[in-house]
Chains A and B, each alone.
Chain A
């Protein structure tokens, strides 16, 4: 550290040393002359004694150790020479900044979504407990679902766990005085905060006693961010009453700053004890604390020195007994012997989960790794480009380097100088890259699918990001400087001095290797881009299978505002009818669950024909009469629902169903589906009393790739929690929105509308991952192509200059211009072919990794690969043709005079 300081004050240090030595010199001379020695003789003797030059050097070595001093001088020298050639500097700086910026931005997302451990004590000991096998009982939620009683039972397994908690993400209507609005929340067991080791910033966190019995804890804990943004960090927040789904609950505390729950994609603004499930989840009308319904994730803290594998193995005997015990719990369904066997064969799975649990990570990790790898390739390409530019510059500096070698500089010293060049450039590029990285991250977040992602991910610089960018820059600098540095260490000194400036130190073979690699890398990226663009275009062209233009959707959840289910059904029906009667609207329909959001209501079904068929999971929904015609979905056989299909309010159960083509094809092939009896569920007690009244064309339910079997029931069965409405609008959607708002406000002035969205917009949202992949890989591919073409052009121009004399002689001896072009192009074709030969096996190998992200095209699709290769080859030939053409125009006399 002090050495760096010394570097900056080296002038004053030098001045001080000079004065000090001068003083010594003068005093010694004075002493000697006083002893009768003539002054000139005294001066001579003192000069010999002191050895001033040596002393200075030795003292300088103390101020700054030798290598450090050399390094700083190298940097200064590099900096000066960069200032002198701004064009070169800008080109290299920009390539590196682009590469490092893109890689850093992607790394930031990878880190936040995939790698980053929860900010809790000893996160490495956190495991996710999951069920492998047939859970039998029903459930709701995302992934890795378990039941609350299961969590309670696991808490007894203290020989394996230091603590076990369960949690589920939900949405609640929150009102703090004003109109209620939907916010994200987390329902947690009393052990959640203690096991995670998260304390309060204010008040207290949720404790075991809050979760002791149903209704025991009408308390919430706010997240620090929400407390700051929504309540301005009010000091008197503890004790305030909030309305959660219209139920009063008291704020007991605020969580530590920086804690955002255990799911990176769903950041809760508040936590509610599981004991308040009935208030927090109005749709749940069963005893979730006692019944084996699957709706929560279970996470546990392993005892120290225990691996997930050992704990998992140790738990199995207990779990076998538990499975039998669980069968007599209230709510356990009656099942066939076959399913009982499957159920009893289940096991528990423990996976290390220091990053918590996240459906976002599940859906995004593969695309993010693919893109991160692509930026890595892009960065290597940029490094290769810079290496090529350095080699070209090195050849221009051949005489300078030759002269320095002749004056006694070691080859290592000169190589180090060249390395300092590239490291300095790369670090400067890294600074530029880091400066734009936050902007890039923010732009990327816009692409991301889930609503939660926007709030959960940040485009800010973290220490980890800075460290990553620093190491990426350093690696880039070393990588791009290595070839030129090694090159400077080779070659004969005499020949380099004898050669003319501009022609010596060619490194042509090295540069050709670099260009070949560039061609290979860019072909990989271009093929990747073509695949992802084709995927997106294919999905967009295919569409969801229903009409999307001119259709507005909006959603409400009345049970979250204190309505009973019967009430909610009536409210949905009323709003549906009033919206349809508006002058600004055409047809309209409603569905219990929204389409194209990624999720679905699904269950197994029973089909009763001459035998009883149990289906796989069928995607289910309840829709209003007119829903199908609103979305332009054709009824192929039978009829649409009418008002008679809905049971009157107060009676439960289903009476009729419409199934889709895929359902008929898979389960009722060769039969007349109309009139067939079916049931939802798969237990022996399920009574097949629902009649199929119609068959509709297939369309996408969860997302645009979804080709599932579907069954629809009538809406208004008096057990509706909410609905999403689909409305054909005349004119723009914006014109219809105010009147829709008015209708909802008249029905319930305090009922929030969860969203207004056009269906086109919904389709776009559901394609966000595909769009992210296509847009980014497309731009990476284009950049890569550009970089490699520039590289190719550069090396070919160089080759032509070097061979000018040879070509001139050939032309003088009667060769045609065309043969000169061929001569040069042959070189280029060799490089392009070699590059492709490297790239294609790589594409075949990596293809499997991206196949899951593709649609309607395989990773090694010959057409796509051929098109990409052709594009690259065409571009490359053009880039090589320009110098080749220049070669054919060489005037033989000029070329010979060059010598």
Chain B
């Protein structure tokens, strides 16, 4: 039986992509792999939703795509964070932190 994996929560995919790209630029396949590695295989990313998300973020101006040679020697489209994307990541991190704090507070109260 495969290990139990969460489907990725709605709306957090964008944030995770921004977080991954804040460390270094990567191509789509790389991002998909890193998503799995970082979340220690507990988050399941539907590959079908990765590319629409990348293009949406690119259109919003948070990512920039450029064709570069990849580790296999073939050209791949590498995405990197724009300054606007970096600001957006900060905003999302902040609101995520507040949301999870709030949820935790509610759970703690309920447990007492």
Contacts and interface: CB of A to CB of B under 8 A. Distances in A.
Given A20-B28, A23-B76, A49 B48 contact: yes
B52 A24 contact: no
B52 A62 contact: yes
B48 A51 contact: yes
B86 interface: no
16 contacts: A16-B65, A17-B51, A20-B28, A21-B51, A23-B27, A23-B28, A23-B74, A23-B77, A24-B29, A49-B48, A50-B47, A50-B48, A55-B48, A59-B51, A62-B52, A62-B55
Instruction: Among B27, B51, B56, B70, find the residue whose CB has the most chain A CB atoms closer than 10 A.
Output: B51
Given A20-B28, A24-B28, A28-B29, A49 B47 contact: yes
A-B pairs, top 3 by smallest CB distance, nearest first, are A58-B52, A51-B48, A24-B29
A855 interface: no
Contacts of B75: 19, 23
Nearest to A30: B72
A581 to B, nearest CB: 89
Interface string A85-104: 00000000000000000000
A2 B59 contact: yes
Chain B CB count within 10 A is highest, among A16, A17, A27, A50, for A27
Nearest to B28: A24
A319 interface: no
Contact of A59 (B47, B55, B70, B77): B55
A54 interface: yes
Contacts of B51: 17, 20-21, 24, 55, 58-59
Interface residues of B, number: 19
A26 B76 CA distance: 11
B77 A62 contact: no
Nearest to A21: B51
Given A49-B48, A50-B48, A59-B52, A20 B77 contact: yes
A54 B59 CA distance: 19
Contacts of B55: 17, 59, 62-63
Given A27-B29, A55-B51, A59-B52, A19 B77 contact: yes
Contacts of B29: 23-24, 27-28
A105 B91 CA distance: 54
A51 B46 CA distance: 10
Given A2-B59, A24-B47, A49-B47, A55 B52 contact: yes
Contacts of B72: 27
Contacts of A59: 51-52, 55
B41 to A, nearest CB: 15
Interface in A41-84: 49-51, 54-55, 58-59, 61-63
A59 B54 CA distance: 9
Given A55-B48, A59-B52, 16 more contacts: A20-B28, A20-B77, A23-B27, A23-B29, A23-B74, A23-B77, A24-B29, A24-B51, A27-B72, A28-B29, A55-B51, A58-B52, A59-B51, A59-B55, A62-B52, A63-B55
A86 B14 CA distance: 50
Contacts of A58: 48-49, 51-52
A58 B51 CA distance: 9
B59 A63 contact: yes
Interface string A7-21: 000000000110111
A165 B87 CA distance: 58
**SS of B interface (majority):** helix
Q: How would you classify the secondary structure of chain A's contact residues: helix, strand, loop or mixed?
A: helix
A675 B26 CA distance: 113
B8 to A, nearest CB: 15
Interface string B27-50: 111001000000000000001110
Name the residue in A19, A24, A51 with the highest tally of chain B Cβ atoms < 10 Å from its Cβ: A24
Interface string B57-76: 00100000100001010111
Contacts of B77: 16, 19-20, 23
Contacts of B70: 23
Nearest to B27: A23
Interface in A738-779: none
B10 to A, nearest CB: 15
Interface in A151-190: none
Interface in A547-569: none
Residue from B48, B49, B74 with most neighbouring chain A CB atoms (10 Å): B48
Contacts of B59: 2, 62-63
B110 to A, nearest CB: 38
Contacts of B47: 24, 49-50
Nearest to B58: A62
Contacts of B48: 49-51, 54-55, 58
A20 B27 CA distance: 9
Nearest to A46: B47
A17 B77 CA distance: 9
B63 to A, nearest CB: 12
B89 to A, nearest CB: 20
B54 to A, nearest CB: 9
Interface string B17-33: 00000000001110010
A327 B48 CA distance: 93
Nearest to A13: B55
Nearest to A59: B55
Contacts of A17: 51, 55
B14 to A, nearest CB: 12
B27, B49, B52: which has the most chain A beta carbons within 10 Å?
Answer: B52
Contacts of A55: 48, 51-52
A17 B50 CA distance: 13
A59 B32 CA distance: 17
A2 B56 CA distance: 12
Contacts of A62: 52, 55-56, 59
A625 to B, nearest CB: 89
B83 to A, nearest CB: 18
A315 B70 CA distance: 85
Contacts of A21: 51
A51 B52 CA distance: 12
A21 to B, nearest CB: 7
A19 B68 CA distance: 12
Contacts of B32: 24
Contacts of A16: 65, 77
A20 B55 CA distance: 11
Interface string A838-877: 0000000000000000000000000000000000000000
Nearest to A16: B77
Nearest to A6: B59
Among A23, A28, A61, residue most surrounded by chain B Cβ atoms (within 10 Å)? A23
Nearest to A2: B59
Nearest to B32: A24
Nearest to B72: A27
A27 B74 CA distance: 10
A26 B48 CA distance: 15
B80 to A, nearest CB: 15
A227 B72 CA distance: 73
B77 to A, nearest CB: 5
A664 B47 CA distance: 104
Interface string A475-488: 00000000000000
A63 to B, nearest CB: 7
A591 to B, nearest CB: 77
B64 to A, nearest CB: 13
Contacts of A27: 29, 72
A58 B55 CA distance: 10
A61 B59 CA distance: 12
A242 B89 CA distance: 71
B20 to A, nearest CB: 16
A63 B52 CA distance: 10
Interface string A452-471: 00000000000000000000
A133 B76 CA distance: 88
Nearest to B56: A62
Contacts of B56: 62
